[in-house]
Every structure is written in C-alpha cells, then in structure tokens.
Structure 1
Amino acid sequence: MDTLGEDGDFHGTEVASNSSSSDADSAVGLETGSSTVSLRESLCNYVEENGRTYHAFNRGKYMLPNDQKEQERLDLQHHLFLLSFDSLHLAPIPQTVHNALDIGTGTGLWAVEFAQAYPMANVIGSDLSPIQPDFVPPNCSFEVCDAEEPWTYRHKFDYIHGRDLLYCFRDPAQIITEAYNALNPGGVLEMQDPQMPIACIDKSMDNRPLAQWAADVCLAAERLGRPLTNSRHYGQWMQDAGFVDVVEKHFYWPLNTWPRDKKQKLIGTWAQQNLLSGVEAMSMALLTRGLDWSREQVEVLLAGVRDDLKNRLVHSYIDVVVFHGRKPEPTPENEADT
C-alpha cells in the first residue's frame, strides 16, 4: 500500500474508509549597518492591524502577525515538523559543528533544541520580532535583524537553517547567496518549506473555499512581490549560488485525518490544527494589502476554509520540501588562483 510520507507519489495514498464528512478526530543587536538595533522597547511597539499585531522593526515586510496566538501556532508547527522529519534537521552535519544560524527563528524553539542537541555549538536565531524566550541554553542567543539586509556576522557558520520562510523574502535567491557567503567551506545550508498552492489527491477540493483561498493568497503574495511558490526553486538557487551535493526531499501533510496510514492520520491531525489556528494569520495581511479586501471579506472566505479543513471528504494536503546543500571545500586549483 502506498502511504503518505517521505518522497514517493502522494496521489497513491489511500483514504480512510470512514465516509463521514465530520472530523472529530509559542537578545537584540546583530550589526547590520544602519539597521543596528539596541532598544528592545522600540522593537516591541508592534503594529496593530485588523485585530492582530505585527513586527515593528522594518515594519510591513513580513505578512504574518507576531501575537500570542501566532506564537502558539508556531510552537505547534515546530512539533509538526519534528513529527514529520523525526529530526531537527535532515542534512548531514557533524556533532562537532561550531557555529549555527537559524534564519527567521520565530519563537526560537528550533534554535533552543538544536543548542541542546549540539552543546558545543554556538547557535544564533535571528528574526524581525523579539518573541523568543529569555531563558535559553548558554550556547543559544537571539538577535533582531532583517535577513534581507547585508549580513555582517563577525564569524562564519558551519550550518545555516531556514524553515517556513515562505512569507518572508522578496528575493530568496539572494538570501541563499548570503548564506553561501556566510558559511565556512564544507558548511551546509538547509531550507524547509511548504509548497503552495495546497494540493489534493483527487477532485474533492475543486470549487471549494479551500481551493479559492489557496489561489487568492498566492495571487496576493505575487502582487506584493513575495511569491508563495518560491520554495520550488530553492534547489536551483542553491546550485546557482555555488552549493554542491544539493538534495531534495518531499514530505506530505494531509490537512485532516482522511488517510488510512496511522502516522499520516496523526500528522493530519496536527496539520489540520496548524492551519485552523493559523489560516487567519496567513490570510489577513496578504488579502487586505495585496487584494484590497476588507476584513469582513476575508472572514467570510475563512469560514468556508475552516469547514473544508474539517471535512474528511476533502482529501487535501501540503507538499513540504526540504533542500540542503554543501559549500565546497577549495580545490588546489582554486587556491592557486586566489
């Protein structure tokens, strides 16, 4: 039996035999030229918009809120990634890694757990919002910065990690190039992101609010210059930047408990809750800024989206892609040329 999991053809996944439509079943100061930040108070003067709060530093760049509701969703999503991958990372990295960077760290859970798993590593998590915990391992720190500005770290890294960055950047290829330049030879970049739009194994999502939502947020993001389809190009952009041994892996998140496979049903439970609690955050700024919708228009659409997410007859899923690549060691020929 084909199962919904790593790689393979997701369209071969079996649907659970139950035909019912119901589904019962959470440190400042990176030096970035003119944008060096020193006053935490100014960073916490968040922007309020349509009932949510958004980052203050370089305001308007990131489309998702940073309030408590979104922080709780990010923590839930962290566990969803762990459930899917069974690991904090898929790239092969040595236990002796010295310096690691987590781009767009969010609530910082990944950085904290990586620091615990690699106690000899110095781990930095960067984000536009200072929403990370105060009590962290001694080898973990957080910095408020904008990864779209030139990187001016004082040392190079052995491993750079970026996860769920789909809403973040106008030019992810430039971020990948910055990461390449910030790595030591032999260092590794790993990117983990959903692929949009949402997919379906059959026609059960056709003409439904969920399909309309996926199309609308992609259109809005395109108009705002931050396409949600960027993740499909990460591998090519890594190669263009100079990375070698680039690996691509796919994982699949069903959006409710429609699969038969027990693990995928469990992943579906988490993925459904992740989207139910996050669909407003993923939509409000995009649709009101990108398509000039009213808050009321967004809420009407989202009511239908939530119904679809709870409907086990809608066999939708998200394709989550992981790319990792290595910065090559200098060859004798290259060393002779420098």
Structure 2
Amino acid sequence: MADSSSLSRDRDDATSFSWASTRTAVEQDPSLLSWGSGSQPSVPSVDDDAQTETRSISGSVRSSTMSIDSSLYHFVEENGRTYHRYKEGRYFLPNDAAEQERLDLQHQLFTVAIGNKLNITPFSHDPLRVLDIATGTGIWAIEFAVQHPGSQVLGTDLSPIQPQFLPENCRFEIDDAEDEWAFSEPFDFIHGRALMSCFNDPAAVVRQAFANLAPGGVMEFQDALFPMSYVGDTPVDSALYRWNEMMVEGVTRLGRSWSNVKNYRRYFEEAGFEDIVEKRFYWPTSPWAKGLYFKLVAAYFQEDMLAGIEGMSLKVLGGLGMSTDEVKGFVEEVKRDFRDTSVHAYLTV
C-alpha cells in the first residue's frame, strides 16, 4: 500500500446524504470481534466442545441479510441459474437472486472477520475518489459511501445487479477491470474483494490500478487462498478435501488460479507500490475452533459456503466432465463435511 498520509482534498462541496443500509445489523457482543493481542488472528485451535455458544450465533447469521432485488437486464440461463451476459463466461459464478443474497452475506463475513470494518486501511479523512472493482451487488460501495460522505464512490462489475436507488455519492458502471482503464481522473482509494474467480491476469489489473491512483493513493485487496488448510491430519478421504483439490484443478483448466493471493505482495511490489502491509485471517468451516471470534466467523463462512458451493461447482466441476446431477450429489457430501466439527478445515484470507 502506498502511504495515505499525503492525501489532501478540499471537501467543502461534499454532499451529505442519509441512507438506510441494505444490511441488517447483527446484535453481537463487541468481544466476539476481538481476536486478542496482535494485529491479526493466529491460526485457530481445536475446541474440544465445539458446540459451545454456537446455536445463537448461527441463528443471528441466518437472519442477518436481505436480498437485493435485481431484474434489470437479461442474463444467460444455465443449469437453472443465471449468469452475466456482458462478456459471457468471464466469471464462473451465477448472478441470480440467490447468489446476490449470498454475496451480501459474504460481505458481512468479510467485515466481521476484519473487526466489523469495511477496510483495514486507516484514513485520517474521507478519500475523495474511491473505486470498488468487481463490486458485485455493490453493498461495500454503498456502505463506504454512507460512512464517508466526502467520498465519491464508483463500483464496477460485469453484472448489472446493483440497486437503482443509491446515496448521491455512489454510482455503478458495467465494466471489466481487465480491459484498459479509461477513467478521466485518478482515484485516492481502490478496493477489491473476493477477486480470486475474476481475472485471467491479476498482475495486470494491479498494474492498471497503480497507474490510476493519485499520488499518495492506497489500494486494498481482500481475498482467499485455496486450497483450504487443516489443523491436525489432512482428511484426504473426505469430500471436502476432494472438492478443494478438484476445484483447484478445474479452475486451472479454465485458465484461472485460486492461489494467486500468495502472489499479491509481489504483484504490488512489481507495480510500484510502497509501504505494503499484509495481514492474514482465518475462516474455520464450522465451530470446531476455540473462541467466540472464530465461532462467529465460522457461522458466517459456513452459511456462505452452504449457500454458494453449488453455484461455484457447477461450471468448474462440469469442466472436469461431471454431469449436473453428479455435481449436485457431490456437493451434498461436501456440505456435510462443512457441518462436521471433526473436520478441522479453515480458509486463509
């Protein structure tokens, strides 16, 4: 990340706007969001009584999101799901109402995991121009615009699934971040999250972002590293392990990688960024991990994956030759492993 201390803009003409967030807040004790000393959580450890204080957390998670209505444009239908038509096939996951609801849940997973915040980057004042690439439903961009009324926030995505009624300082455009960027002015903050399925050449996206940052500007990516890791012996006979390995193989055949996160620091360095900060967070698959923080994160992550794993798998595992029915049957086995507290798996973010 570049040093943000040099950002300075006149914000006297900023428009204030009152906006009711699309996100329903979860009632939770602030202590749930603490991972103890240090600037980031340590790798989770196994809880011998995995169901402790879990039921109420899971209940809150299931009732904590609202779906955003989207029937704005025609989409491509396949296997009973809809996908983006603009640059059809570039993105593997669906964009229908069920997927939009999952994306809003995933938004809360990210915010809870990093301490109930939208971003880790500290700002002494509102960054003037903000870009959110691969914005999805736009929920991050909308909430950032609400929290930073002095910012002008732009979200871009392949799918036009964002809501029509927005804060005055937030707007969306249909765009592919792998195309040549043609913005008229540079940005003070560029944000990207859950990008691992998005790009053929993420390093090129990082280079374009650097070229489109104002002096002193900052970029923050939050993303996951596949395959998952395990505490203790690796459960090589489990459906979850097989799914991880097959998904990595499948996306490789489709010309993508789900392991690019380990290269992000190098991409940033090669693009010219300075003062790069890397933090790691861990998402357990179920409440097998000790501590209320990890149980809360696990509840969100499990719900996110139970809702999204079929959509993630249909195209990728279909590319390995599995039929739709075979994928759906296999996915049910993987879901059982996500609920099984004897499978000590976690995702590194």
Percent identical among aligned pairs is 42
How big is the shift at 1:8? 5.8
Matched, 1:310 2:310: no
**How do 1:145-184 residues align onto structure 2 when only pairs under 5 Å count?**
145-184=175-214
The CA distance in 2 between the partners of 1:308 and 1:234, in whole Å, is 30
2:112 corresponds, among 37, 59, 83, to 83
The CA distance in 1 between the partners of 2:293 and 2:41, in whole Å, is 16
Matched, 1:245 2:275: yes
- Compared CA separation, residues 204 and 215, structure 1 to 2 (3 A): closer
**Counterpart residue number, 2:74:** 45
AA aligned to 2:337 is D
Matched, 1:17 2:48: yes
How big is the shift at 1:3? 7.5
The CA distance in 1 between the partners of 2:41 and 2:296, in whole Å, is 19
**Counterpart residue number, 2:24:** none
Matched, 1:140 2:146: no
The CA distance in 2 between the partners of 1:4 and 1:314, in whole Å, is 27
Higher strand proportion: 1
- Compared CA separation, residues 206 and 19, structure 1 to 2 (3 A): farther
1:123 corresponds, among 147, 153, 160, to 153
Gapped runs of 5+ residues in structure 2? 1-34, 59-66
Alpha-carbon deviations, 1:186-245, whole Å to 9, x = none? 111110001100111112533100000011111011111111111111110000000001
| Alpha carbons 2:145, 2:151 under 8 Å: kept | yes
The CA distance in 1 between the partners of 2:124 and 2:136, in whole Å, is 25
How big is the shift at 1:14? 2.9
| Alpha carbons 2:50, 2:287 under 8 Å: kept | no
The CA distance in 1 between the partners of 2:127 and 2:50, in whole Å, is 50
How big is the shift at 1:134? 1.1
**Counterpart residue number, 2:292:** 262
The CA distance in 2 between the partners of 1:251 and 1:3, in whole Å, is 13
How big is the shift at 1:15? 1.8
How big is the shift at 1:6? 6.0
How big is the shift at 1:17? 1.9
**How do 1:193-204 residues align onto structure 2 when only pairs under 5 Å count?**
193-203=223-233
**How do 1:87-126 residues align onto structure 2 when only pairs under 5 Å count?**
87-126=117-156
How big is the shift at 1:260? 2.0
AA aligned to 1:319 is T
The CA distance in 2 between the partners of 1:93 and 1:275, in whole Å, is 32
- Compared CA separation, residues 19 and 66, structure 1 to 2 (3 A): closer
| Alpha carbons 2:286, 2:295 under 8 Å: kept | yes
Matched, 1:60 2:89: yes
RMSD over aligned CA atoms reads 2.1
Alpha-carbon deviations, 1:272-320, whole Å to 9, x = none? 10111111111111111x3132111211211110010010111111101
Alpha-carbon deviations, 1:23-76, whole Å to 9, x = none? 8664xxxxxxxxxxxxx99x8221111111100000000000000000000000
| Alpha carbons 1:101, 1:160 under 8 Å: kept | yes
TM-score of the aligned structures, taking structure 2 as reference length: 0.82
